[in-house]
Structure 1
Amino acid sequence: MRHLDAARRFVVKIGSALLVDDETGTIRRAWLESLALNIADARKAGQDVIIVSSGAIALGRRLLGLPTGKLKLEEKQAAAAAGQVLLAHHYQAALAAHGVPAAQLLLTPDDTEDRRRHLNARATLSTLLSLGAVPVINENDTVATAEIRFGDNDRLGARVAQMSSADTLILLSDVQGLYTADPTRNSMAKRIGHIPRITPEIEAMAGGAQSGVGTGGMVTKIAAAKIATAAGCHVLLGNGHALSPLSQFREDHAAATGEAPFSWFEAVAEPIRARKSWIVGHVDLAGRIRVDAGAVRALNNGRSLLPAGVALVTGSFERGDIVAVDGQEMKPHVVLETLNKLAGENGIGRLDIVENRYVGMKSRGCYETPGGTIMLRAHRAIESITLDREVAHLKDSIMPRYAEVIYNG
C-alpha cells in the first residue's frame, strides 16, 4: 500500500462540503487550520503541495444573501466572484500562520487543454513551488459557464496533477474511499483498498452527489482518477471531514492504527510516456517538418532533431508548439500502397480462417491486407470519437447483415 510519505509532489483536492459549513455557509476554520498545519509539515519534509479548492460559490452565496437551493447561472457567477476573494483570504491567513506563502490561480479547461496556455500555467506552478509557495487553484467559475453547470473541481484536480507532473493526487471525500456499494444505503458494502486499474466494474460502483453545497460525487472522482492514473499519477481517495485530514495518508498513522482508511488507485502509465500521449491527443499542429532518412533513424531511437536533418519546413511555430514530422500528403491509393509495404514488413494484416460458404460447404481462407487493416483501425478510431451511442449501436447491428447481403449477392 502506497502512503503519502513517498510522494515528491502531490495535489490535494478539497470540496465545498469539507471546507464550508452546510448550515451556516461559513468556513470550517478549525478544519482549515489543521489542514494548513498538515501542509506546512509536508513542506518541511521536502514535499511540494498544490491545493485545488472549491468553496467560492458556497461562500459567496451567503455573502451576497442569495437563497438556498438551485441558483441561476448568473447568480452562481456572481457568488463565485464574491466568494473567491474570501476563499483566498482564508487560505492565505491559515498558511501564513506557519510561514508558508499562498498564491492564487484561477484556471479554466482551456488553460489545461490549450498547449501554450498549458505551458504558461505549468511554468507559473513550477516557479511558485520553487519559491516555497503553495498554489491554491480554483476554476474560474465567473467565465467557465459550461463547467459551472455540469462540472466540478475533481477533473480540474486531475488536470492540475497532470500539468504539474505530480506523482500523487489526493481526493478528499465524505467516505473512506471507494466501496462496492453506497455505504450509507448498504451495510454490506466493502471498502476497496487497492485499485490497480479502473475497470467498468469499478466505475459501476460509483454513485451520485449527496452534498448540499458541493457538485461532485463518486462518479466525478472516478473520472478524475482515470485522468490522473493515465498520466502516471497515483490517486488517494479518503474521508476528509476529520481534523488534520492528510494525516490518515501517512505511514505512521497506518502503523499506529493498523489500517489505511482510504483507497489507492495505482498509476497505469509512466509520467513521461503519458505526457507524450496527452500531446498527441490534445494539441493542434502548428506546422510540419520534412526530415531526411538520417533524422528519421535518430528520432526513432529517441534522439533529438538537429537542423541538419530538416529538409522542409511549413507553417509558423515557436518554442512549445507541436509540429508533424514528415507529414507528407498522399492520394488514397498511395496511402494504401505505402501502408501495405510498411505493415507487410511487420507482419500486420494476415488472417487464416475457416469460412462457411454460401453453397453449404466450409473452406479455409488465407488473406493478407496490411494497409487495409491499419486503415480500418484508424477509421474505427475516428468513429469512436465522432459517432454517438445510438448511431454506433445501429452501425454494429447493420454491418454484419449488410456484409452478408454483399457476400451472398
Structure 2
Amino acid sequence: MTMPGTGAERGGSPTMRAVVYHGPGSVRVDEVERPRIQHPRDVIVRVTRTAVCGTDLHPYRGELPDFTPGTVLGHEFAGTVHEAGAQAPFAAGTRVFASDVVACGRCPACARGWHYQCPAVTLFGCADVVGAPLAGGQAEFVRVPFADVVLAATPDDVTDEQALFVGDVLTTGLAAVHGAEVAPGDLVAVVGAGPLGLLAGLCAVTAGAARVVVADPVPARRDRAAGFGFTAVAPEQLDEAVRDAGGRGADAVIEAVGSDAALDCAVRAAAPHATVCAVGVHHSTAMPFPTGLAFARELTVRFAVGDPIRMREQVLALIRSGRLDPSRIVTHRLPLADAATAYRLFDRRDAFKVVLCPDGTAPAT
C-alpha cells in the first residue's frame, strides 16, 4: 500500500495530504487529489516548509462568512520543483519559494511592477477573496501558475524556512519601511507586535532607524518585542513614548494590525510631516483616524501591499548578508498532520509563528 502524498490514488488520480478549511474554527488534514500541470507556465512544487499566517486566521475566526469550505489553505511556502510545464524555466529538484501574490507578469500593471493590480491577480489559499480560487501551499504539493513570474530559486545559503518568509510577510515588512519612508536616524513607531510588526521593525533597523518603539496590547508580545531590542509599550502609551523619545512624535509610523483602532493609534503617534504606512489588511468603509489631526500635522497616510515578485531580491540580499534572519520569529515547527493544533495555538496566541513541515522533517517535540 502506498501512503497518501507519495502515490496513493483516488479514482485513478494520485492524492496528497492538505490542510483544508471546513468552516470557522475547523481545519483538517484531508486526503485530496494531487494538483496537475494545467498550463505550460505551471510548476508543481513539493512543499517542504509552509507557515500559518495571520491572514489565514480571518476565515478560521469566521471573519469571512463567504469563505468557501473545502479550500486548501496557505500562501507562505517553499519546496522543490516536482514537475514543470514546457514554458516554466525550472528543472525538477530545484529549490524554490513562491510569492503569495500570483500575477501574469505580462500586462501593463505587471510591467510597472504593480503585480497586485494585475487583472489576473489571485492569492494562494484565499478562496475567491482576491481573484479566482487557487489551492494553497499548506499541502504536500501545490500548483503554481505563471511560475516563471511567481516562483524564484532559493539560493544555496538560504534555508527553505527563511525563503518562505520572502514570499509574503518579510517582504511586506520591508514594503512598510519603504512606504513609511524610514531614513537613517529616524524614530520609528510600529503598531502591532505580531510577526509582521516585528519583521517590519527589524527591516527598519536595517534601514538605519535609530530607535523602534512597538505598541501592542498583549503583554507576551510586548515581551517578545523587547527581546528583539525594541522599546515595547501598550497602545495607549505609544503617543507618550514617542514624544518622550523624540520630543515631537515618530518620524515614521508602521501600522501592522489592520484594525481601525490600530490606524488611529498610528496616526496619533506621528510627528508633523511624518509618513504613516498601513500594511495591516483593512476593510473599513469609513476614515478610521482623526483627519483633523492628520491635516494639522501635514501627514502622509498610505497603504501598501507587499510585492514579493518585485522586492524578493532586496529581501534575499538582507538575509544572505546576515543582516536579517526571519526564522528568529518561529516558535513552533510541526508536522503537517498537526495543522489543526497549529491553528489553535496561533489563534490563542500560544504560538507566535508556526511552520509546518509536509516533508516529515519537523523536529521531535
TM-score normalised by L of structure 1: 0.27
Which one has the largest radius of gyration? 1
TM-score normalised by L of structure 2: 0.29
